[in-house]
Each structure stands twice: as structure tokens, then as C-alpha cells.
Chains A and B, each alone.
Chain A
Amino acid sequence: MEWTSYLPPLLEGAWVTVQLAVYSTVLGAVFAFAAGIGKLSHNRLISGISVVYIEVFRGTSLLVQLFWLYFALPVAGQIIGIDLRLPPVVAGILALALNIGAYGAEVVRGAIQAVSRSQREAARALNFTPRQTLRWILIPQALPEMMPTFGNLAIQNLKDTALVSLISLGDLAFRAEQIRNFTQDSTTIYTIVLFMYFGMALVLTAMMKLLERSVGRWRTAGT
């Protein structure tokens, strides 16, 4: 078989990988902001939940989390009488997002805490509510500091999408394994797949750089 005949099914898988990466990164960013800001909350309950979430998802393996959501959660649902069987796509996106969100949360928290004290005091003097301070003072200045690390996390997440092939989701890694089982032409297939992931990572890096630049205009002149 010609190596070009591998491309259509592999590209189909690559498209699934792209979608997985986009959805889980966006959802992961939501989790990251929720838990990162939550950890700074004065409400003990909210900060407690955030800390537990961050520690659990940073302290265990992504594959363990994925298997837990896909294999164990339905059993847990059975015990309490709720149907918690997730389709592979949902389990995959959720596991990736929860995992990357926990790492992102620490970045969000760190960047918000790094905004200088005088900025908070000025906001307070101007009678900003805590919510307004967060929305208009802290986040706009913290975002540029978060972006480089977010870029690394997005690449990490793209690579991690390969693991969802293990719960039978038809992504690039899954298609590669399928074709290999059929043709036994491992060297060609895995070389192509490695370069496809590399290409996607390069595009993602370039996109994150653009985003970094557009957010960078919020950087204050003084700091």
C-alpha cells in the first residue's frame, strides 16, 4: 500500500484530535479561572473545594482520571441510582479539561496574586466592590502574565488528547493503531503521525503567540 493512502483516514482522526483539543482547552480555561479565583475566595467552602479539586487532579495521573470517569463513574451512578454513563467524547473532553484546568488554576491564582498591592488599594480607595476590582483591575493585568504558561499547557493538552484513543474515541492515535493492525506498516504510519502532531503543535504555538500579543496590550506601563 502507498503511504499516501494512509492520509485520508489519518486526517479524519486529526480533525477529531483538533476538536478535542479545542473543546477541552476552552473548558479547561473555564475550570482554571473558576478554581484559581475560588482558591483566593474568603469563603472557606469555595476555597476548600477549589483546593481539593486542584490537589486531586494535579496529584493523580490523567489516565487514571480518564478511566475513572469512563469505567468507574457509571458503577458509582448505579449505586446511587443515577445513570452516569458518559459517552466516550464527553468523558474524554471532561477528563482532559479537568486535568488541564487544575494546572491552569495555579497559574491563574499566581498571576492574580502577583498584581501589585497598590493596585488593590487604589481600587479600594475608589470604592470598587471586590467583584469590580477582580473584573476591571486584577484580571486585565494578570492575563498577560498567564499567557506564556497557558501556551505550554495548551500544547500539553494537545499531546494528552492522544490518551482518549484508549477509551475507543476515533482520534489520530486511534486511527493510526487501526491502520497499523491492518497493514503492519508501523514505521511509516507512526512517522507520519508524529509529524502530524508536531505540525498541530507548531500551529497551536503560533496561535498562542498571537493571543499573547493581543492580550499584552493590557500590560500596564509601570509594571
Chain B
Amino acid sequence: MLFGIEWDTSSEWAFAVSILPILLIGMWVTIQATVLGFFVAMVLGLILAVLKAAPLRIVSWPARALTEFIRDTPLLIQLFFLYYVLPEYGIILPAFLTGALALGVQYSAYTSEVYRAGLEAILSGQREAARALNLSSVRTFTHVILPQAIPRIIPALGNYLVSIMKDVPVLSVVTVLEMLNVAKIIGDRTFDYMVPLSMVGGLYLIMTLVASAGVRYLDVMLPKRGFPLR
């Protein structure tokens, strides 16, 4: 029994059907962790991107080094680091939030590059034209650069949303009850790992296919020439 739901081990099919609601509870946690982690990654990534673009070397260089460091070290170790080290400095977070934070930190290195590439892809002719029209640099950014960069940035961010979803099972090591952890517990108690773990594989396939289709739809739907931001 898990989450108050009994399983039925009379046959493999009955077992699969009876544990599906339990796995779906785990899936809901997976989705929550994905969304929260993605949100943190978007915000931290934007901060890193702005710092890296700073004209001052003393600001941009450490930001660049930090991005490289985050990108080249494993999520698992970053998660352990946050989980064990933050409490030593008096920051005590629930495992779920620590996990979402770790996902966000790891992927902020990737999203910051997405922002940078998206902004740099706007041809310099656009900037020059804006300058010739006597637009202020703030208006150039909000009315010329940003509207054109957004359709490039969103699909790329969407791909990282899918990657984050696939990294959520790592949070099981700090006792987050996401889908894989739930399946593992069912396996530990019934000695049948094959059914729950195969179901998790299948459910993952469905989740990533749906998410990738959503990203592709966004990519097609977004106006290539940019959004009017008014």
C-alpha cells in the first residue's frame, strides 16, 4: 500500500492497473518539479545572461566562469551540495524545493546561453537602423530587439523544459517522491520491479512526446518576424 492505495498482485495486468493511480500521483510531483525547476532556470539564466553581457570585465568574467563550472559538473553532486551544505548556513528547505533549486541552477547555465544567442542573432543592421531613427537604447531593446528575439528564444527554452523533465528522477536521491521513486518503492515492497519500472518508462515516453509536440507547435505558431509588444 502506498498513498492509501492498495495493489492487487493476483496477476501482472491487475497489478499494473492497481498501481497506475499511485504512479500518477508520482507523475504529478514530477510535473510540479519540472515546472518549478524550469521557472528557476529561466530567472537565474536571465540574471547570468545579463551579467555575462556586462561591459565590465570584472562582472562578465566571473559570470562566464560560473556558467562553465555549473555546466561541467553533475546535477547529482550539485543537488547533494545544496541539500547538505545549505542547512549548515541556516537555510533549511524541504527536499522538493532543494531539488527544484538544483534543477534550476544546473539549467540556468544552458538557458543563459539561449538568451545570449537569441539576442545576438538579431542582425546589427537592426540596431543601426534603430539608431538612425533616433530611438533610445531602452526603446531599441524593448521595441526592436526583444520582439524579434522572443520567437527564437521560446522554442529553445522549451527543449530544456523537456530535458529538465527527464532529470527530475535524480531528485529521488533526496527523498522526493517523484514517479521513479514511487515505482522503486512499489518494487521494493512487492519484489516485482519490472511492471512499475516499465510503466514509468512508458509514462515518461508519453510525457516527453506530448511536451516535444507542444514545443514544435509553439515553434510553428510563433510569428518568425517578431511580436508587437503593444
The answer to whether A71 touches B187, judged by C-beta atoms less than 8 angstroms apart, is yes
In whole angstroms, how far apart are the Cα atoms of A68 and B183 in the complex? 11
Known: A60-B166, A67-B180. A197 touches B74 (CB 8 A): yes
Are A63 and B194 in touch, CB under 8 angstroms? Answer: no
Are A56 and B205 interface neighbours, CB within 8 A?
yes
B194: which of A55, A60, A76, A186 is its contact (CB, 8 Å)? A76
Binding site for A on B (CB under 8 A): 69, 71-78, 80-81, 84-85, 88, 165-170, 172-173, 180, 183-184, 187, 192-194, 197-198, 200-201, 204-205, 208-209
Check A197/B77 contact, CB under 8 A, given A61-B169, A62-B166, A166-B173: yes
Per the bound structure, the CA–CA distance linking A213 and B59 in Å amounts to 33
Q: A60 touches which one: B81, B183, B192, B204 (CB < 8 A)?
A: B204
Contact B85 A186 (CB under 8 A): yes
Q: State whether A163 and B76 are in contact (beta carbons under 8 Å apart), knowing that A71-B187, A71-B193 are contacts in the complex.
A: yes
Contacts A59-B205, A176-B80; A159 near B74 (Cβ below 8 A): yes
A218 beta carbon closer than 8 Å to chain B: no
Q: List 24 A-B contacts (CB under 8 A).
A: A56-B205, A60-B201, A60-B204, A61-B166, A61-B168, A61-B180, A63-B169, A63-B180, A64-B180, A65-B201, A67-B193, A159-B72, A163-B170, A180-B80, A180-B84, A186-B81, A186-B84, A193-B77, A194-B73, A194-B78, A194-B81, A198-B69, A198-B72, A205-B72
Contacting residue for A155 out of B72, B168, B169, B197, CB 8 A? B72
Flag if B81 contacts A190 (CB, 8 Å): yes
**Looking at the complex, which one of B80, B168, B169, B197 makes contact with A71 (CB distance below 8 Å)?**
B197
Smallest distance from the beta carbon of A100 to chain B beta carbons, Å?
13
Taking CB atoms, residues of chain A closer than 8 Å to B192 are 75
- Distance A193 CA – B80 CA, assembled complex (angstroms): 11
- Asked if A159 and B75 sit within 8 Å, CB to CB, the answer is yes
- Give Cα A180–Cα B81 distance, bound, in whole angstroms: 11
Q: Which of B77, B168, B180, B193 contacts A194 (CB 8 A)?
A: B77
Which one, A60, A64, A75, A186, contacts B88 given CB within 8 A? A186
- Taking CB as reference atom, which chain A residue is nearest B206? A59
**Total contacting residues, chain A, CB less than 8 A:** 41
Docked CA distance A47–B9 (Å): 38
Which of A61, A160, A165, A173 neighbours the largest number of chain B CB atoms within 10 Å of its CB?
A61
Of A67, A161, A180, most B-chain CB atoms within 10 Å: A67
Distance of A190 Cα from B72 Cα, bound (Å): 15
Partner of B200, one of A58, A64, A75: A64
* Interface members, chain A 145-201 (any B CB < 8 Å): 155, 159-163, 165-166, 173, 176-177, 180, 186-187, 190-191, 193-194, 197-198, 201
A61:B85 contact, CB within 8 angstroms:
no
Complex Cα spacing A49 to B71, Å: 33
State the Cβ distance, A130 to closest chain B Cβ, in Å. 32
Which of B76, B80, B204 counts the most A-chain CB atoms under 10 A from its CB? B76
A206 located at the interface, meaning its Cβ lies under 8 Å from any Cβ of chain B in the complex: no
CA distance A191 to B84 in the complex (A): 11
Q: Are A63 and B81 in contact (CB under 8 A)?
A: no
Contacts of A155 in B (CB 8 A): 71-72
In the complex the two chains form, is A67's CB within 8 Å of B184's CB? yes
With a cutoff of 8 Å between Cβ atoms, the chain B residues found around residue A90 in the complex are none
